[in-house]
Structure 1
Amino acid sequence: MDVPAIAPLLPQLASGAAHTHALGFTYESLDGDRVRIRVPWREDLVGDPDTGVIAGGVVTTLLDHVGGLAVWVSLDNFKPLATLDLRVDYMRAARPRTDLIAEARCYRLTRSIAFVRAWAFEDAPDDPVAAAQSAYILTTARPERRPKPETGE
């Protein structure tokens, strides 16, 4: 598979939004149509101080964001999109004080909807902390509507 033209933008797309930057998301890799990002473990991202595990909301955000990156890889273009549906299944507790990696793949692309599967894990995707199934709507910018001039009739 050829390297997508969007590949050089993936590091910026992974961490360039205000929330992804604040959470510390970083680009890891692109392998074919599978994109990976990482969230480094930080004390302020812990959900329960007694366990030291990254909060579930951070995991959901990680899976949602890597899913969007997978759509852009599939499109080989940066286009506006929005999460239409996101289901996250938590399969086990994450390891305390450990970074999480997320990998996603867009497995079906239509004119208006992209379908993605993603996994969050510490070391290998075959031992996931969580798995996601999501759909993204591909939006297009619409020209601003101007009011019609009154005709005086």
Structure 2
Amino acid sequence: MTDSFLDTLLPQLASGAAHTHALGFAFAGLDGDRVRIRVPYREDLVGDPETGVLAGGLVTTLLDHVGGLAVWVGLGAFRPVATLDLRVDYMRAAAPGRDLLAEARCYRLTRNLAFVRAWAFEDDPTDPVAAAQSAYMVSAEGEHRTGANLKPKPAA
């Protein structure tokens, strides 16, 4: 994996999409093969105004996104990936008023599939808010589809 990918592209992939930017996702580091992102606590991300707890959908999105980043770390490069399966186990409510972190590791790569484990937490990864197990489809290098080759073929 090149330093350029780690230093430049990976942080951009963490927050560069419209939805990740809107949610405030930010690259929070890389430790070996474990990638971490952070989402700052904001009132507009709260799922239950009475408790101030962040929305469960935000947690799922965070875990899915950090999982994709872990696939790219495992590959050592950017290639299109798509979530095939995502199981999230919610263990407790996120603490109100606290930023949420997510960390993921791609533990198995095949030619077309990547398998990831991820967890969301405030400070301590051993006290997770939620944990995820996921599988991603990885586009083979050179098989990227663009808008030009996605057009319907004319009827015969």
Shift of 1:11: 1.2
Equivalent residue, structure 2, for 1:89: 89
Q: Deviations over 1:63-86 (max 9, x none)?
A: 000000000000001000100000
Q: Distance in 2 between matches of 1:74 and 1:26?
A: 19
Residues 1:62 and 2:65 aligned together? no
Q: 1:102 — aligned with what?
A: 102
Report the CA distance between 1:142 and its aligned residue: 4.1
| Contact 1:26-1:38 at 8 Å conserved across structures | yes
Equivalences for residues 1-150 of structure 1 within 5 A: 6-8=5-7, 9-139=9-139, 140-142=143-145, 144=149
Distance 1:147 1:127, change over 3 A: closer
Tell me, in whole angstroms, the C-alpha distance in 2 between the residues paired with 1:70 and 1:4.
Answer: 16
TM-score scaled by structure 2? 0.89
In structure 2, how many angstroms separate the alpha carbons of the residues matched to 1:134 and 1:35? 15
Q: One-letter code of the match for 1:75?
A: L
For residues 142 and 54 of structure 1, what CA distance do their matches in structure 2 show? 36
Q: Is the 8 A contact 2:38 2:100 kept in 1?
A: yes
Return the offset for 1:6: 2.1
Q: Aligned residues, how many?
A: 148
TM-score by length of 1: 0.90
Give a deviation string over 1:14-41, Cα, whole Å, max 9, x none: 0000000000000000000000000000
What's the CA shift string for 1:87-108, capped at 9, x where partnerless?
0000011111111000000000
Deviations 1:22-62 (A, max 9, x none): 00000000000000000000000000001111100000000
User: After TM superposition, what 4+ stretches of structure 1 lie above 3 angstroms from structure 2?
Assistant: 2-5, 145-148
Q: Which runs of 5+ in 2 are unaligned?
A: none
Unmatched 5+ residue regions in structure 1? none
Q: Secondary structure at the match of 1:131?
A: strand
How far apart are residue 141 of structure 1 and its match? Answer: 1.5
Bigger radius of gyration: 1
2:93 counterpart SS class: coil
Answer yes or no: is the 8 Å Cα contact 1:113–1:136 preserved in 2: yes
Q: Which has the higher helix share?
A: 2
